[in-house]
Structure 1
């Protein structure tokens, strides 16, 4: 057996050390690369010496590293899903409608509030569709659309008032930009301002009615004296035994028309009367309805109109008995006149929260949408000249509002109209 040359052994030993050092360096680099991928700081020499590193299983290290990476990805995915669900919950829970629209006006996403305010379809069914088709029922974007301006200018736009589906909205559009600052879509926010709009209209209407009431009171007081004189002298003349039949007829017409003028003036005074003049009392709603029905029973029979009542057990309400009776008389008379002949009026009472509701449903022609918002305005009437003053429903509205109630009218799904008077229950 040949003995190895010492010099050769030294050379081979040095070569092996170099290879060993390179191998250790290679393993250390690969381990550090894996640690860096996992978000961990690289190993320092003092943390893991060369001998221990040589004992590592590279395949095991790689497999373990990938297992840790996989678990890290799973945890990250769970956190992302949780964050997504939280954002979606906030997106849906906000009190305003929100839509995200792309540059082609397609709906990418909308929250539940937006869907409830504008459409009846599920959110999934409107994604990808054009916003102007879904929200505005148009074939193309309108020139007044704020989204058009935002996409064109890249600036936020606010429209103070837009009417959709009998509601009023404030619309705010904000540009959605990419990482380079280019506008790639629009975030549209809809704020329901219907109640605010109604409050403004009510305030304006109240101011107009106050002014009109003051003017009406002045006119009524000025006319009462001469009308009283005309009526008084007409009655005196009627006592003259030497009058012809024609003269008696003419004086009768004068007296009758004077009485009619007096009734109109009484309506003006009732309309102009200040709230302080009538103290709030207590009223039995069912009793007030029965009184109104009894008073107008002959008028209903003459018109061949059937009056049905469904009076349930309801509490006493706040308000003057005589005034609430007057409200019901005005509404019932309005229903009889609207029907004309051969019809039906159904009256029922029921409880609703802390209110008592008196509902009058008739089989008349209904009220056109174009004038429905005006029927409580003073002097507004659809009757022929000489057949109505247009004050009955206005006075009724004033009485009900004064005692904290509400009065509304809607068209019945079948036929006719429904008047609902809501009165505060007297605790």
Structure 2
């Protein structure tokens, strides 16, 4: 069957019924869309034969139109063409004299002309320049392919290059008098084609979702998309686990994450490996976040996508490496200077003791000597701590119950807490694995942390010491309700000689850090300015 028979049989298989169909209010729109579809088919066939994927030139467009209508038995000639318009003269209509009875059939031709022009040029408007349905089939049609003043003033139909322009919708078909088309092969075939396309679309969408889930489910990266209003449209399993969320925001946890995506949506801000601190009840996690906007066909932002991963362990290792570099530097400094300083100070102390005997007790000279001896002793204590920091004593390891050590700490700090109006709270786990540790060194660490917590609450407050077990690791928490520590200070908390106290040496926390490190454990802190600070001591528990 040739192209002419194919087209004409589909449109005129039942001429009487077709006349009834073409009396509806949607006639023009429906016939134009049918013309657009056939124009697209003939254009695709031309591109396939010519292996041409570029837009048609004006000359190619005009030739393709005349060849198409000639193949249907019509006679179209190009009267003139330029960069703004193409004028066609029809001497013989492909629909024959039936067009005189039903002039609306000319809209099929308009659809062919306008649809092709819309796909290849920046503008498309079809304008008949004289009536085509009186005594002859002759007509003249102008196709404007550039938006000009003449095009705007001309009467005719504008054809946009949009996907919906190529297909009849169910509403458009049903609007063409349901009683007339319900028994029509044309209607039934079209509805069946539409339903088949919808079925194929649903199947493809299902397959796409399954394939997407299979690809993203095995990724160790979190993948998340949101629409333009910020609502989550997709999360893979990794994203759900990392954010502790399932297809909706937990604003208490992911507020900063939402802020990043909001900037991407509304300010077109892209983030590349942005380190985001996400607070969870069990502690802060660090995520490396990338975000980018999603754009529609018109270039407008339709949503945003984020790909992120947990880099908490990496950040911890980086911090520990930096801390080790600082300790190494301090060790070099201590090894070269500490002993040289202590030797002359020991000599000075001896002569001051002799000199003090030359003065009577209570005289100014005696008081000055005693004061200088005290300051030398204080300097020697700092040097001793300094040497302990650089060369900590090897721990005398044995099995220990941390609850027993903590009870000793409570006894030591009880009187000081009463004087400072600090309430002591215990929150112990019901059972705690034993740890392999040096009781004296661990006691030194606990006492230092508890003392620091009490000193951080000069106006009174609460100190809570709690224990727990997590994945075989014993965790001891010292939580105060003091003034808290600023983020910039928190990063330097374990640096040698860093202190926020007037009388502090800045070595207590550093030594504690080295001791816990020597026990294959971890010491770290979280703080909220104005609310308080929590120090965490983590030690590996012994297996039963």
Query: What TM-score, normalized to structure 1?
Result: 0.65
- The question of 1:169 aligning with 2:288 is answered yes
1:186, 1:162 → 2: CA distance? 18
2:262, 2:289 → 1: CA distance? 18
Q: Determine the structure 2 residue equivalent to 1:135.
A: 260
- The question of 1:87 aligning with 2:87 is answered no
2:196, 2:324 → 1: CA distance? 68
Query: After superposition, where does 1:397-408 map in structure 2 within 5 Å?
Result: 397-408=513-524
Query: After superposition, where does 1:104-115 map in structure 2 within 5 Å?
Result: 109-112=233-236
1:310, 1:133 → 2: CA distance? 35
- The question of 1:209 aligning with 2:327 is answered yes
Query: After superposition, where does 1:150-299 map in structure 2 within 5 Å?
Result: 159-163=272-276, 165=278, 167-169=286-288, 171=290, 188-240=306-358, 242=360, 245-273=363-391, 277-299=394-416
2:432, 2:201 → 1: CA distance? 61
- Structure 1 counterpart SS, 2:456: helix
Query: 1:424–1:227: structure 2 CA closer, same or farther, 3 Å change rule?
Result: same
- The question of 1:383 aligning with 2:501 is answered yes
1:327 to 436, 441, 445: 445
Number of residue-to-residue matches in the alignment: 351
How big is the shift at 1:262?
1.6
How big is the shift at 1:296?
3.3
- The question of 1:366 aligning with 2:491 is answered no
1:250, 1:124 → 2: CA distance? 68
Q: Determine the structure 1 residue equivalent to 2:134.
A: none
The runs of 5 or more residues in structure 1 that have no matched partner are 1-25, 31-58, 127-131, 148-158
Q: Determine the structure 1 residue equivalent to 2:221.
A: 96
Contact 1:406–1:423 (CA<8 Å) still a contact in 2?
yes
How big is the shift at 1:169?
1.8
Query: 1:236–1:136: structure 2 CA closer, same or farther, 3 Å change rule?
Result: farther
1:161, 1:313 → 2: CA distance? 41
Query: 1:397–1:388: structure 2 CA closer, same or farther, 3 Å change rule?
Result: same
1:292, 1:125 → 2: CA distance? 40
1:402, 1:125 → 2: CA distance? 39
Query: 1:349–1:412: structure 2 CA closer, same or farther, 3 Å change rule?
Result: farther
1:105, 1:163 → 2: CA distance? 22
Query: What TM-score, normalized to structure 2?
Result: 0.53
